Amino acid sequence: MPVVKAKPRTIDEYLATAGAKQRDVLEKLRRTIHSAAPGAEEYIGYGLAGFKLNGRPLVYFGAWASHCALYAASPAIQKKFQNELAGFEQSKGTIRFTPEEPLPVALVKKLVKARIAENAR
């Protein structure tokens, strides 16, 4: 009978499944998100580490085999910061990065604050 892994219920449990390098960069990302969005609630959504503010989804992040990702949940936000995101692989709502080349803290704060403003509209 196959072993069934329990789905993570918290971000701590989610991070425990990531590799050491990914875990370190995602912990820093987590702290940065909290810094930019005081009062944001952590949760697991869509199988990813997520943050809600005022009951609305804000951003998510995830760890994959060859990269990490920040899900800014808004193509409009990505377009607004396209010049600053130019060095990172992107698709609709997704910004990929590696532990060796993480997203800059200042950029993450800008992305999160832009999402807060977007949600407020």
The answer to whether 95 and 103 are in contact (CB under 8 A) is: yes
Higher pLDDT, 104 or 4: 104
pLDDT tens-digit map of 76-117: 899 999 999 999 999 988 999 999 999 999 999 999 999 999
At 75, the pLDDT band (50, 70, 90 cuts) reads: confident
Q: What is the DSSP string of the chain?
A: -PPPPPPP-SHHHHHHTS-HHHHHHHHHHHHHHHHHSTTPEEEEETTEEEEEETTEEEEEEEE-SS-EEEE-S-HHHHHHTTTTTTTS-EETTEEEE-SSSPPPHHHHHHHHHHHHHHHH-
Rounded Cα–Cα distance for residues 22 and 63 (Å): 7
Residues counted in the chain:
121
Q: Model confidence over 19-44: pLDDT tens digits? A: 999 999 999 999 999 999 999 999 99
Query: For the residues 37-58, what does the mean pLDDT come to?
Result: 95
Q: With bands split at pLDDT 50, 70 and 90, how would you rate the model's confidence at 4?
A: very low
Instruction: Tell me the whole-structure pTM to 2 decimals.
Output: 0.91
Whether 73 has a pLDDT exceeding 90, the answer reads no
Report the alpha-carbon angle 113-118-121, nearest 5: 130
pLDDT given for residue 5 in this prediction: 61
